[in-house]
Structures are given as structure tokens and as C-alpha cells.
Amino acid sequence: MPSPSRPADARVPAARRVVFVDGVRTPFGRARKDGLYAHTRADDLAVRTVRELLRRHPQLPPERVDDVALAATTQQGDQGLTLGRTVAMLAGLPTTVPGFAIDRMCAGAMTAVTTTASAIGFGAQDVTIAGGVEHMGHHPMGFDADPNPRFLAERLVAPDALNMGVTAENLHDRFPSLTRERADAYGVASQAKYAAALAAGKIEPDLVPVALRDPEQGWGLATADEPPRPGTTVEAIAGLPTPFRPGGRVTAGTAAPLTDGAAACLLAAEDVATELGLPVRMRLVAFAFAGVEPEVMGIGPVPATHKALERAGLSIDDIGLFEINEAFAVQVLSFLDAFGIADDDPRVNPYGGAIAVGHPLASSGVRLMTQLARQFEEHPEVRYGITTMCVGLGQGGTVIWENPHFSVEEDAR
């Protein structure tokens, strides 16, 4: 019997550099019955961001998009039904472009980015769209959730671990140096920094207007964020109630408001971006996710950042800009203390953060990246930046980016 022929060796692609081409988001609205998007579908918000990315980059043939990954924390109703695929079709991408949905709670969009970036780096894809949407007005956090009773019966988590506000109070308990006074000051600073960035024209370029239709008031157009409270003072928020614990320290002034909104970005292999004439606004260096005790969920960015820095061969001193999601002020402060960074360090959230602008859960990761990309353009002396966030049930995620505008001459000044 003749011997079978030797099978051919598989062609394994070499790793490629992944770049952030562009990112956009809708204006963020307050999640309430009279909020900006009370009569707007979640998937339509996501469609608007995808269409805007394609409009801004006509040199990208739509059929060159290899995948669309979109996240939502509550995958039901108008933000369910395999979002990546449905939004791709609704946005007008060819039916040959696939898509999928993803959920890592608050880090949904961040995970959509790292997942599709991994496929690009491996050589399985060339161009992807990644992002997330959360309509917390239509789908309140935890709505219809049914946590397995074993979590409590087997004491896998403490009873308060499923309430994000209580986990923030737990951080105050665990680290006495994280006082309410520091948190109040940080919350006020976030509002002030956002207001300054808005006045300087640094917010609007990344926003995509959204058409609105109110059954009573007719048509309108969303062009600005609804949640910010400019002029907020420490004195004003010092008297706010503490809804998560009597005599607690977490208030509406030091927590991100419930928010509706969507964000999406365009990723590509660097050689493909060059081929297509797409801009390179950031280069992906490393990323990591880590788990922590769910009771102190907000500390999650600390081990995630340690892990990402180690993988990149960098130290915290190499990072020139930080975009930290402000789920709660105490969560950001715990990160700053862990790395010896001052509360008012100008490298941290230069445009303000979620306490001011809002936190539509699964979309916020791309908002952080989009803001960091714009800051890189302003700071050629900075080589590396970080986007990081805490995640429900005790997780953290961190992505390290390189500034393509980095100049050794600027760094030496």
C-alpha cells in the first residue's frame, strides 16, 4: 500500500502591529424618562457611530471591514440580538461583513477592542469596528438579572458585592486615607476639567450628532452631552445624601450618573492602514484584565495595570497620560494611591471623566481611547498612555497605547 503524502506545513502569520484609526461617540444623555434619548433606540445610537466612522474615512472600502464587535451589558430588547451583526446591517455595511456581541459589563467596549485587535495582530483580520452601547434608560442596570443563589448560599461573594455603589463604600472602608473630602474634591475637579475641555473645543470633534424624535415635541438633534453639571462646588456636594449607606461617603457628586450613549472605533493592522491611507492615531502596546474581590470591585484597574506594564516591559513612570474611567471618585483615588500619583496630577483625565460626562457602561472603554488619542496629538512629548477601568463582579482592564506623534526632541525639552 502506498504511503500517504506528507501534509503541507500550515502558514502561520507573523504578528502585526495594531493601530487605533479613529473613534467617535454619540453625545451622552441622562437615563431617565425625560432624558435626551428617552425615545431613541439603543441600536440606532450604535448605528450612528458606525456610519460616522465610515463617513469620516471614505478611503476605506466597506467590504474591507472584517468584523464588527459591539458590547452591551444588558443584552435584551433594542440592545440585544447579536448587536455587532444587526448594527453592521443597519449601518449599511455589506452582508458579507460579520459581527458579534460581547459582554464584560463596564469593560465591554474595551474588550471588543482587545478581542478584535488580537485577531488583527494574529493576521486573521485586517480592519475591524469595535465599540459598545448602553441605554440605561431602557435597560436599568441589573434589570431582569437573576444571580445564581449559590453566590450567597455558598458565600462566594458578600451580599453587597452585587451593588456597585456599596462596593465603592467598601473601598472607603478598606482604605481610610480615601476620605469623602478627597472624593468630593475629585468629583468637582472632574466637572471643572470637562467644562474647560468643552470650552476649548476638545470634546465636540469626537461627537456625532443624533437625530431625535419626541412624540410630543417633534424632531430634534442631540449635539452635546446632557449629564455635566458645570459650576459644581465642593460646598454644594458636601450636603448631598449618601444613597448606598446611611452616613456613607459616596454621593451623586462623586459617582458617574446613569447614562445612555454609544461609542465605536476603527482598528487596523498598521500596514493595512498605510495601504488604505487611514490615519494612525495610536498604536496598541499591551493589554490585560485581572480579577479582584467583587466586594472591592473598584480596585480592579490596579492589578490589571501591573500585569499590562509587565507584559510591555514598562513601568508606571513611563506613562505620560492616564484615562481612568470614573465609575466612582474613590475608585480612581485608589488607583492613584496605589501608584503614588497625586489627586490633581495633570496627566490624569485631562478632559474630566465619567463623573461629569456619564458612564453608559459597555461604551465607556472607547470613549477613554478616543480622548487619549486626541490628547496624544496635543502632547508629542508623551510616548505612552493608559486607558483603564474597573468592572463589575471584581475585575479590571487596562490597555497601554503608544503615541505615533511622539518626538524625542519634544521629550527632551
Cα dihedral: 117, 28, 388, 111 (round 10):
-30
Give the model's pLDDT for residue 144. 80
Q: How many residues does the chain have?
A: 413
List, for residues 91-144, the tens digit of each pLDDT value.
Answer: 999 999 999 999 999 999 999 999 999 999 999 999 999 999 999 999 998 778
Is the separation of the CB atoms in 141 and 147 below 8 Å? no
List, for residues 10-19, the tens digit of each pLDDT value.
Answer: 776 777 999 9
CA 126 to chain centre: 22
Give the model's pLDDT for residue 399. 98
| pLDDT above 70 as % of the chain | 97
Higher pLDDT, 2 or 65: 65
Does any domain span residue 8?
no
Residue 333 has pLDDT above 70, yes or no: yes
When pLDDT is averaged across residues 371-378 and rounded to a whole number, the result is 98
What does each C-alpha distance from 43 to 34, 84, 108 come to in angstroms? 19, 10, 15
Rounded CA gap, 122 and 97, in Å?
19
Does any domain span residue 147?
no
Rounded CA gap, 394 and 382, in Å?
31
Query: How many other β-carbons are positioned within 10 Å of the β-carbon of residue 233?
Result: 12
Rounded CA gap, 28 and 361, in Å?
11
Residue 157 has pLDDT above 70, yes or no: yes
CATH of the domain at 386: 3.40.47.10
Q: Which residues are part of the catalytic machinery?
A: 106, 359, 390
Residue 411 has pLDDT above 70, yes or no: no
When pLDDT is averaged across residues 212-222 and rounded to a whole number, the result is 89
Give the model's pLDDT for residue 2. 53
Does any domain span residue 22?
yes
State how many domains the chain has: 1
Confidence grade of residue 354 (pLDDT, cut at 50, 70, 90): very high
Residue 159 has pLDDT above 90, yes or no: no
Is the separation of the CB atoms in 98 and 85 below 8 Å? yes
What does each C-alpha distance from 413 to 67, 108, 391, 408 come to in angstroms? 42, 38, 38, 9
Is the separation of the CB atoms in 110 and 389 below 8 Å? yes
When pLDDT is averaged across residues 356-381 and rounded to a whole number, the result is 98
Does any domain span residue 407?
no
Does any domain span residue 5?
no
Does any domain span residue 124?
yes
SS3 (DSSP) at 354? helix
- Cell numbers for 392, please give them: 463589575
Give the model's pLDDT for residue 409. 66
Rounded CA gap, 134 and 300, in Å?
21
Rounded CA gap, 346 and 357, in Å?
18
Domain range enclosing 100: 18-140+156-401
When pLDDT is averaged across residues 218-230 and rounded to a whole number, the result is 95
Is the separation of the CB atoms in 35 and 260 below 8 Å? yes
Confidence grade of residue 408 (pLDDT, cut at 50, 70, 90): low
Residue 268 has pLDDT above 90, yes or no: yes
Does any domain span residue 132?
yes
When pLDDT is averaged across residues 249-269 and rounded to a whole number, the result is 98
Give the model's pLDDT for residue 265. 98
- Cell numbers for 242, please give them: 449618601
Residue 320 has pLDDT above 70, yes or no: yes
When pLDDT is averaged across residues 399-403 and rounded to a whole number, the result is 98
pTM listed for this prediction: 0.95
Higher pLDDT, 213 or 36: 36
Rounded CA gap, 202 and 205, in Å?
7
Q: What is the 3-state secondary structure (H, E, C) of 228-254?
A: CCCCCCHHHHHCCCCCCCCCCCCCHHH
Residue 372 has pLDDT above 90, yes or no: yes
- Written as one letter, the residue type at 287 is F
When pLDDT is averaged across residues 25-41 and rounded to a whole number, the result is 96
List, for residues 48-102, the tens digit of each pLDDT value.
Answer: 999 999 999 999 999 999 999 999 999 999 999 999 999 999 999 999 999 999 9
